[in-house]
């Protein structure tokens, strides 16, 4: 079993990284990622760390973009009413967006738990778009 410079197993530190991402702590995730990328030598751990940060940022961006949809609909509705048109009902769209956001959050949390369990065993769950980019950039 490989150990980090902290004396902990590589799998345990990888799991810790994914659990920090699970709880959504950007500051703690960036600090731990910085430590791992600067001081640790294990390439699997570095790739797992980058994957965790990339997924954390990706889910945050998706959530933010989905959150803009009701605002855009309200803007369109405002212009529609301004030009004597029928208003667009943003309440229904807001509810749909809220459901999509909840589903996205559940998917994010489930993915980080699964990745954390895989990391504890030093295994990798391949994510089609992200893993090839990480492999390409880190080799």
The string of pLDDT tens digits covering residues 16-62 is: 999 999 987 899 999 999 999 999 999 999 999 999 999 999 999 99
Give pTM, 2 decimals.
0.85
Task: Tell me how far apart the alpha carbons of residues 99 and 114 are, in angstroms, rounded to a whole number.
Answer: 22
Burial class (CB within 10 angstroms; exposed 0-12, middle 13-18, buried 19+) of 17: buried
pLDDT in tens, 57-87: 999 999 999 988 888 888 887 777 777 666 6
Q: Which residue has the tokens 């994010």?
A: 108
The residue count for the chain: 139
Output the pLDDT for position 101: 93
The two three-digit tokens of residue 122, written as one number: 């030093």
Q: Is 81:89 a contact under the CB 8 Å cutoff? A: no
Q: Is 5:21 a contact under the CB 8 Å cutoff? A: no
What is the end-to-end Cα distance of the chain in Å, rounded? 23
């Amino acid at each position: 079993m490989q150990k980090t410079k902290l004396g902990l197993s590589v799998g345990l530190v990888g799991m810790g990284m994914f659990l920090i991402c699970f709880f959504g702590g950007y500051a703690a995730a960036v600090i731990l990622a910085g430590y791992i990328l600067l001081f640790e030598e294990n390439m699997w751990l570095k790739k797992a760390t980058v994957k965790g940060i990339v997924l954390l940022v990706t889910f945050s961006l998706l959530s933010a973009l989905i959150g803009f949809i009701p605002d855009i609909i309200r803007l369109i509705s405002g212009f529609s009413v301004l030009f004597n048109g029928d208003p667009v009902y943003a309440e229904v769209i807001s509810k749909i967006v809220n459901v999509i956001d909840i589903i996205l959050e559940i998917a994010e949390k489930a993915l980080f738990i699964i990745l954390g369990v895989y990391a504890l065993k030093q295994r990798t769950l391949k994510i089609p778009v992200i893993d090839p980019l990480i492999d390409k950039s880190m080799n």
